A = this chain, B = another copy of it.
Amino acid sequence: MPKLVDHEERRRELGEAVWRVIRSRGVDSASIRTVAREAGWSPGALRHYFTSQSELLTFAMQMVVERIEARLSALDPPADPRRAVEQRLHELLPLDEERRAENEVWLAFAARALVDPRLRAPHEEVDEELRRAARATLEELGSAGRLRPGLELDLEAERLHGLLDGLALHTAMRPNRMSPEVIRSVLARHLDSLDPDEGGR
């Protein structure tokens, strides 16, 4: 009786199945068939939600965005603006198993967008969202007097976004090369280099 079932509830249920498959078998194993089996649905029922692996990946990417947003709004930001910015940026970086899985979805989604024109627009949206987040953190540092004077914000946003995505790419490609400690230190060093109080070390 699918009509009696709340659509959002089914979507959430589906999302959890997608996530369990990704966590246990990796994003490339998340096919319509494996997700249907995990959710206990028929592949036919699943096809009401998505008809190809590209759509499934787009769905998984939407979940990543929702998960990050939920974590960001649940944060209890420290008073120090530099620490607050750092805490938020940590939510975007692959610093634990959960965020590594999200990061792998992001890279698989981007890699698919390279060859599937239908994913270009959703990919651009995510990409712009991240660039805006990079810029917003710089503006926040600026308002708090924690940004060296005279910096070009557009350029700094490109640089910060480039660094964040470079670190994410490196971690997704070679999960065991850089420790979470090193990733945090690289970001901290970058923020130090923008901070007038840190003397540009």
Contact = CB atoms under 8 A, between A and B. Distances in A.
B182 A158 contact: yes
A170 B161 contact: yes
Interface residues of A, number: 41
A107 interface: yes
Interface string A150-172: 11100110110111111101101
A60 to B, nearest CB: 15
B190 A127 contact: no
Contact of A186 (B113, B150, B155, B178): B155
A31 to B, nearest CB: 13
A108 interface: yes
A197 to B, nearest CB: 12
Nearest to A171: B162
Nearest to A157: B186
B200 A193 contact: yes
Interface of A: 28, 107-108, 110-111, 113-115, 123-124, 127, 148, 150-152, 155-156, 158-159, 161-167, 169-170, 172-174, 178, 182, 185-186, 189-190, 193, 199-201
A127 B174 contact: yes
Nearest to A165: B166
A156 B173 CA distance: 20
Contact of A111 (B111, B150, B190): B111
Given A28-B115, A200-B148, A162 B172 contact: no
Nearest to A27: B114
